[in-house]
Structure formats: C-alpha cells, structure tokens
C-alpha cells in the first residue's frame, strides 16, 4: 500500500444532504489521483454517504470513524467522520428542511473546530442551502461568513479559481447598493494584499494583479461616478508603494479577457456578480441537448483565514439531487486546490 503519512489530511464537509453535495463527494473520492495528493475524510452522516454511493452506482465502501486518525485513506473506501445527526427518515432530496439545514451547519462547525485544533490540515466544503441553514436558526449569508466568525477573522475574501483564471472579491453576499458603499480604500487594499499573499503561497514569485473599476469605463474621469478616483486608485497606489505587482483600475468589460490571455494572474473585483459571472463563464459549460452541465469546473477559496478552506463553485442543485447525474469536477478541483495549499 502506498505510504500516505506525509500527505495532508483534508476534512470534506458533504454539504446539505438534500442536494448534490454527498453525491459529488462520493464521485470525487472515486478518482484515484485524489489519494496520491491527500488523505480525504468526509465530515457528515455515514447513512447519507452510503445512500449517495448507492444511487450513483459506485463500487465504493464506507468506513465510519469517530476521529480523523482512524481513517484508512485508500482508494475504494470513503472514510466518514460520522456525526450521525440526520435520521434516515428525515433525508428528503430536493427539499429545504430545518433538520437538513442543521445537519449541514454542524458538518461545517466540526470541520472548522478540527482544523483550528490541528487535527486536519485543511477543509473542503460541499454546497449548502442558505434557506435551510437559516430555517434551522443559523443566520449566515453563506460559508464565507461562517468561517469568518468561527475563526475570529475579519479580514478575509472570496477567491474563485479556474486553472489560471482567478478573481478576488471586495464584497460578496450583500445588495448591489451596499456593495457600492463597501468600495473603500482600506478594503480594496486589504483584498489586493490577500490576493498577493495567496498567489505567493501557490508558488508565484512575481504576481501580476489587476484591479477592476466599479463604474462603466472606470467612470470616465468622474462622468459616471467617483469611486475610482476617491477609493480604488488610492488603494492601488498604496499597494504599489508596498512593491506589489498591481495595476488599475481597469474597465471590467476587458480586464478578464486580458487575464485569460495571460496578462494577469488575478483580478480584484468590486462585487459578487462582477467576479462570479466571468468565473462561471470560464468554468461552466451547459449542454442543451442533454440538459446537463458538461463541465462544472472551478474552486471557491476563502483567503485570509488561519485555516485552509476551499469549496465547490456551485450550489446544491436540488433539481438533480438524488439522481446520480451531478458533475463532480468542481469538488475534484477543490480537493486538489486544498491539497496544494496544505502542501505549500
């Protein structure tokens, strides 16, 4: 058997039991290459994982453990840290329920606790349903905010990655009105710094970061707004004074094409959709003929935390949950990214 003692141990939360999270976990752990990069441990409910393996038609067994060190970590067996927190009769695919929301939150909470204690080397998260966790009494906008609070971190950001395509967000899950109000020099500078640090951690000696403007054409010298002159440009100048390789502000309608062409390693964007739309255009491919996603690549990385957290770059996809037809590529990518960060 291959020696895995030096590989990072990753805790993988299976997401909302009602969605495709358990399925993409199972399918990702059917990829032999994963076990050459890390020791994967699913944090969830063993009954739910067994169900996902079954309806996905996979020839995998499950090994239930109570602590990370008990894992077998070899291909063909999925190690599950079993929280046993969802009775079998309460598993309802495609449905928002408080019980499933509570269970999915508890998986995340346990993963963070284990990572902070040093019992696992990084975390990978499956998709959760925000309505479900809120119905269970956990009032968070998403994973990023949970991780920020549970780790006591205030300066963090979301980075989406699809191979060489990387975007980092100044703000994420807020209204567009509030997102505009959050474009401030200090926050823009912090996100530039976090982006540079993450690229450096990934082994990039000389990083090239572009900063997108907020307004059309970067406001055309104040014709369409003032944020570029008042907040974004001063942040870029402060980063340049720190000898960081950063340029901008650049119009958002061309900056992503420049990154895709190799001019930049990452783009700092000002709000959720400004970054998510091009990232998903890069990583997602829909096939009308089969009514399915032929490709769902890409990783969500929370940067600035004291622990590693990567995630799939898609939601729970309730419409196809429990049917065995979910694409696991984003989960595979997320595990590989976490392994790379933990091994750096």
Query: Tens-of-pLDDT digits for all 344 residues of the chain?
Result: 455 679 999 999 999 999 999 999 999 999 999 999 999 999 999 999 999 999 999 999 999 999 999 999 999 999 999 999 999 899 999 999 999 999 999 999 999 999 999 999 999 999 999 999 999 999 998 898 899 999 999 999 999 998 888 999 999 888 999 999 999 999 999 999 999 999 998 888 788 999 999 999 998 888 888 999 999 999 999 999 999 999 999 999 999 999 999 999 999 999 999 999 988 887 666 667 766 555 555 789 999 999 999 999 888 989 889 999 998 998 999 999 999 999 87
> Which among 171, 117, 156 has a CA at the least distance from the CA of 301?
156
For the chain, how far is it from start to end, CA to CA, in angstroms?
25
Q: Are 7 and 42 in contact (CB under 8 A)?
A: no
Q: Are 290 and 189 in contact (CB under 8 A)?
A: no
Name the one residue in this structure whose structure tokens are 């549970």.
150
Sorted by sequence, the CB contacts under 8 Å of residue 261 that are 6+ apart come out as none
Q: Are 281 and 141 in contact (CB under 8 A)?
A: no
Name the one residue in this structure whose structure tokens are 């100048």.
237
Q: Are 342 and 8 in contact (CB under 8 A)?
A: yes
Catalogue all structural domains in the chain, each as residue range(s) with its CATH number. 9-153+305-343 (3.40.718.10), 157-279 (3.40.718.10)
Burial class from Cβ neighbours inside 10 Å (0-12, 13-18, 19+) for residue 158 reads: buried
């Amino acid at each position: 058997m291959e020696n895995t003692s030096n590989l990072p141990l990753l805790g993988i939360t299976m997401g909302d039991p009602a969605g495709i999270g358990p399925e993409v976990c199972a399918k990702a752990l059917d990829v032999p290459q994963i076990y050459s990069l890390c020791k994967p441990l699913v944090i969830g409910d063993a009954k739910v994982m067994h169900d996902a393996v079954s309806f996905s038609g996979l020839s995998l067994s499950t090994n239930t453990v109570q602590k990370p060190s008990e894992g077998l970590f070899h291909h063909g067996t999925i190690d599950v840290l079993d929280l046993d927190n969802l009775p079998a009769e309460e598993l309802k695919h495609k449905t928002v329920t408080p019980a499933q929301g509570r269970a999915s939150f508890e998986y995340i909470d346990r993963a963070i606790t284990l990572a902070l204690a040093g019992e696992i080397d990084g975390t990978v998260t499956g998709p959760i349903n925000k309505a479900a966790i809120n119905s269970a009494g956990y009032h968070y906008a998403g994973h990023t905010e949970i991780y920020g609070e549970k780790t006591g971190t205030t300066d963090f950001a979301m980075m989406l990655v699809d191979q060489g395509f990387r975007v980092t967000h100044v703000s994420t899950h807020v209204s567009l009105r509030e997102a505009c109000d959050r474009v401030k020099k200090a926050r823009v500078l912090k996100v530039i710094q976090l982006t540079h640090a993450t690229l450096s951690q990934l082994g990039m000696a000389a990083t090239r970061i572009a900063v997108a403007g907020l307004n059309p054409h970067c406001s055309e010298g104040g014709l369409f707004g003032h944020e570029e002159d008042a907040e974004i440009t001063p942040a870029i100048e402060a980063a340049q004074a720190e000898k960081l390789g950063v340029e901008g502000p650049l119009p958002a309608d061309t900056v992503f094409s420049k990154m895709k062409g190799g001019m930049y390693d990452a783009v700092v964007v000002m709000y959720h959709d400004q970054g998510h739309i091009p990232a998903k255009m890069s990583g997602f491919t829909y096939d009308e003929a089969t009514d399915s996603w032929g490709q769902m690549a890409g990783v969500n990385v929370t940067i600035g935390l004291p622990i590693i957290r990567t995630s799939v770059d898609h939601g729970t996809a309730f419409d196809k949950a429990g049917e065995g037809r979910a694409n696991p590529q984003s989960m595979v990518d997320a595990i590989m990214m976490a392994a790379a960060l933990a091994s750096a």
